[in-house]
Structure 1
Amino acid sequence: MKKHAALLLLMILAGFGACSKTPDEPAFDNPFDPHGTNPGGGYGILAEARGSAVYLSWDNLVGATGYSVLWSSDSPDSADMIVVSPADSLIPPSAGLRVEFEHEGFVAEKTNWYRVVGRTEVLVDGDVLRTPMIASVAVGVDINLLVEAADGRTTTPTRLIEIDMLTGIADSVEIANSASFASSTVFDVMPGQTERVSWTLPTVAENRTDLWVHFRTRMQQSVGTADSFAIQALFTPNLVVERGVRIGVSGSFMVDTLQVFNILPVDGQSLVKVERRGYAQPDSSQFIEDVTPATVDDPVMVFWDPQSEVARDGAVIATLQSDFGFSAVDSVELGVPGAVGEPMLEIVGGAFTTTREIEVVNTAENAGYVLLSESPDFSGGSWVTFADTLAFQLEDVLGARFLYAAYSNPILAETVVTSTPVTLVSPPRR
């Protein structure tokens, strides 16, 4: 009899030691794999997010005298978990019933990990041996920004985000961009699994947007309601940005005059607003400013006729920045090699000649592609990937020329292609 009792005690102690293992090992309840070999799977622990609270439930363990609930919003590692209900305060019901527990500290924008530890009392040879039962579950959402843009030549926006859902007992999830759920999308999901859904963002003008999520079950088919919780999608790159092209001319002074286009929502339409535009004289601090709005469909054409306005040997220099979508904060600088102290003009045989070479300097973090041409239809041009510098040869003619610059970034949240003609003016004859 004693041998049998000793053997039973060893088996119980072996089970007790196994309870300290990681949640991926058989000693833990894994509700996401109900058909697995996990011996704790029979406890049926479930979690459901409702507003700012999580409702946990599990099958009562026969003989259990109490349960503890541990919680973490950062890691499923037991070392990082916080006890939110000690065993003495959570008394189990009668055998065969479900145990329920509500946690108000649920963090909606993160995955929340819960572990249930049950306590039972087993009588062995007159001694009471307490053995824990451990089960774990996770519920919540993880927000991942999904950037899709296939071709640097397209202007088709694909503003999508991916949302990873730990569904708990839900079999569908509803997502909206307002707490009223006036416009929402419902996705069918599998209970007890990690599900990924892709959702198209509304047009926004900031680097974040708030979404509302509502988990639903077949028993609860309500739409929207106060049981939903808000999550915030943060975006890098920003949605309102600056992108620039700086133009210089042979023999010019590099005057830092800026022109900025921003996408701004106005009455439901996105406008390209010229924040600052004008010209400067190298020997004067004078700056003439103009502010002109234009729709995206009719982009601003920026050019100057500086013949009567720029001093002799002067130059027109501007930074053209525009976005017909959203992208990273970047700039593309068009300058002139040797502009300071090494003019490109040479006197040959008593006449002026010029190489009229423009150097494109990549100052962007994510420059993408560029297309340069002196033709508005970009004939003869080809898209090239930015290197540190890119040389472009203008037509070898003195006088006013137009340089058309198109640039796009295929790795950003929306592919951007813009074209702005800019007048390049050769220095006046001496």
Structure 2
Amino acid sequence: MATTLALHPRHRLDLRAVDLAHGLLALGVDRAPAEAVLARAGVPDDGLVAASVRSGWLLLLETVGWAAGAEVLVSAVTHPEMPALVAAAGLVPVPVEVDLATLLPSEEALAVAVTPRTRAVLVAQLFGGRADLDALARWCAERHLLLVEDAAQAWAGAGSLASAADMTLVSFGLLKTATAAGGAVLRVRDPHLRAAMAGTALGWPAQARRAYAVRLLRAALLLGLARRPVYGAFLAVCRRLGRDADEVLDALSRPRGAGDLVAQLRRRPCAPLVALLAHRLRADDPSTARVRARAAAGERLREGLPTGSLPGDRVARRTHWLFPARASDSARLVRRLRVVGVDASGATSNLVALTEDGPAADLMRHVVYVPAYPELPAAVVRAVHEVLQSETRAEHVREASRAG
């Protein structure tokens, strides 16, 4: 087995020291117009900037004025706070099973779940992929339902917000592509709804600069952990202290404030965040080239694997922000991947299944997130690919045997 010090980290921040320095200098900025962010994101006329995707979702829920008890159909794999915010608004989140090939709810599952009380459909585009929404958008339009696309993980440069959805949300949180240590861009088709949401946001307090400064310091710490010797030492210290490395990394990358969730999220982005976001969305930012390299690296890992062995086979655009593999013995797959030098884990994402059985629950019980970032050496990528080939083919044979 590769020694702890030799392991490649499970995730690398899409951030350079110069970006971090820009963010720290921006802490002294008093005003940062959002127009530059929206223009560089490709939505100069129909966009909004929010403190996070969850804040943007809350902004919509507080603006639309749906009656208490109205229902929102929600993808059965999503961030847990998205349905929690639906419930906090006095509405009813209704989980809808996903098709593992597209990672979206099927029209059949939606048809079973929809009722006269349904007002919207919230779909999550998972793992950095973008499945086509044209058919789903037509289905929603025929029923006068709002289609909201949570594409938090899917930024791939200007044009990423183009979508058939009524509203699309993209995140620039700590672990996301082109991270600004926070922030989100929303595209809202209906100009009246967009103007109303902007009006709602004006009544919210601004995010505290001190809180954003802490986020930047966390980013600096995570940037340091991306170095293999430092990461290895971190894992060794966690083991010696009896701490779960997954829990420590989660606390660093996704800090959870105490108190009411809605109160925490009801914040406008502060000027330093908007300034760093404008800096990261420049056309010449290296994140655009890096996401292309990451997508190519992920596709190399998929080559030759049995159809259906990995989730998202029919997702049209995969950027591989995360590379999910499904294994009935996920612990065994993690061990085998660590032998070849990568720190795979089932805990890299905060996605959850909203159902207790079915495809979504099965996926989240058995998923392993495999490092697939472009900085991995070619020899390591080949070794990871061999492990995936061996494991997925064995899994395919076992499932075929059970089915027969």
Flag the structure with higher helix content. 2
Determine which structure has the larger strand proportion and give its number.
1
Q: Which has the higher contact order (CA 8 A, sep 6+)?
A: 2
Larger radius of gyration: 1
Pairwise TM-score range, normalised by the shorter structure: under 0.3
What TM-score do you get using the length of structure 1 for normalisation? 0.20
